[in-house]
Amino acid sequence: MLSRRSFLKLSGIAAVSLGSGFGIGKIVSSHANKKSIMLCGFLPNNQEQIVNTVKSFVDEFLYNETFSVTVRGEDNFSSILRNQLGNRINSTSNRHLNIRLTKLTTSLPSDILIKTDDAKIFSPDIDFSAYIQATRNSVLGKDAVYQLNVESTENSILDIFNSNNKVAVIENSKGIVEKIELNRKATSYKVSGNIGDVVFNIGNGNAHVHSSTCRHQLCKKGNSAFASGDFIACAPNKVILRIERS
């Protein structure tokens, strides 16, 4: 087991952005059968590297599978990515790929992390395959401009946008604190963290950080969470909000 402190030292803030689970496990074919696999990349302003990161994830974990896909981001990114994925896209497939590209509001070092639905985050230098490691090495040492989230799930594409069936799950270092329906009237929720409080505004289909005691306010500067697989992390407080299907 890789300790939380060691993993954060190894992979920086990207590890926190993947969620609260820390552990190691081999990337082997058995992981392709997991319900959910997620990649989080902090990537430079290079369209080719961003597209190649998605393709590496697809080739590593989905093999010859087809999948439905949802792409959120700049219009040209969506069209270019769909063209690159080509005949792998099948709107009737029960395997769904949820891709989100957002521009960062603060400077971060580029990196790529992967986690599975059993809350294990892989140690890149130990557990990545040569193929994924080569993709990671191509972005290391560069300044990140975009955050890329790629999640592979077995759920129907309709579940992704059905706001009536989504909840915001809030965790701190002690475990799950609250589960809140996302389609309810917007309300503020205060959660105790390691150095103070984080206040979330949750409801009307989305969630975001209203205020936090953390120094750099990265969690507040980030995007809202509204689709299944979205998350918000306050690293200093070790508080995480993620969106799940209920």
pLDDT average, residue stretch 128-140: 90
> Do 13 and 131 share a structural domain?
yes
Highest mean pLDDT among 24-33, 69-78, 81-90, 221-230: 81-90
Return the pLDDT at 3: 40
Within 10 Å of residue 140's Cβ, how many Cβ atoms?
Answer: 11
> Do 238 and 198 share a structural domain?
yes
> Do 173 and 135 share a structural domain?
no
Highest mean pLDDT among 132-141, 172-181, 210-219: 132-141
CA–CA dist 50, 45 (Å, integer)? 8
Expressed as residue numbers, the domain containing 223 is: 162-245
Structure tokens at 220: 């507040």
Return the pLDDT at 161: 53
State the chain's maximal CA–CA distance in angstroms: 49
> What is the pLDDT of the chain when averaged over all its residues?
77
Q: Which of 94, 123, 157 marks a domain boundary?
A: 157
Return the pLDDT at 181: 92
Return the pLDDT at 60: 87
pLDDT average, residue stretch 9-29: 41
User: Which of 83, 39, 84, 45 is CA-nearest to residue 57?
Assistant: 39
> Do 35 and 83 share a structural domain?
yes
Give me the residue label for tokens 């990671």: 136
CA–CA dist 217, 210 (Å, integer)? 10
> Do 179 and 84 share a structural domain?
no
User: Which of 109, 147, 131, 132 is CA-nearest to residue 18?
Assistant: 147
Return the pLDDT at 35: 64
- Percentage of the chain surpassing pLDDT 70? 77
Tally of CA atoms within 13 A in the half-sphere of 85 that contains its CB: 28
> Do 153 and 42 share a structural domain?
yes
> Do 148 and 212 share a structural domain?
no
Name the band, by pLDDT with cuts 50, 70 and 90, for residue 152.
confident
Return the pLDDT at 176: 85
Q: Which of 157, 183, 217 marks a domain boundary?
A: 157
Q: What are phi and psi of 50, to 5 degrees?
A: -65, -50
Name the band, by pLDDT with cuts 50, 70 and 90, for residue 200.
very high
> Do 228 and 119 share a structural domain?
no
Name the band, by pLDDT with cuts 50, 70 and 90, for residue 158.
low
> Do 55 and 140 share a structural domain?
yes
CATH number at residue 173: 2.60.320.10
* pLDDT exceeds cutoff 50 at 6: no
- Pairing outcome for strands 187-192 and 197-203: antiparallel
pLDDT average, residue stretch 122-142: 85
Name the band, by pLDDT with cuts 50, 70 and 90, for residue 168.
very high
CA–CA dist 134, 57 (Å, integer)? 12
* pLDDT exceeds cutoff 60 at 163: no
Total number of domains in the chain: 2
> Do 179 and 147 share a structural domain?
no
> Do 36 and 120 share a structural domain?
yes
Q: What is the pLDDT of residues 135-151, one digit of tens each?
A: 999 999 899 888 888 88
User: Which of 54, 58, 39, 43 is CA-nearest to residue 122?
Assistant: 39
> Do 94 and 203 share a structural domain?
no
Say if pTM beats, i.e. exceeds, 0.75: no
Q: Which of 139, 157, 175 marks a domain boundary?
A: 157
- Percentage of the chain surpassing pLDDT 90? 21
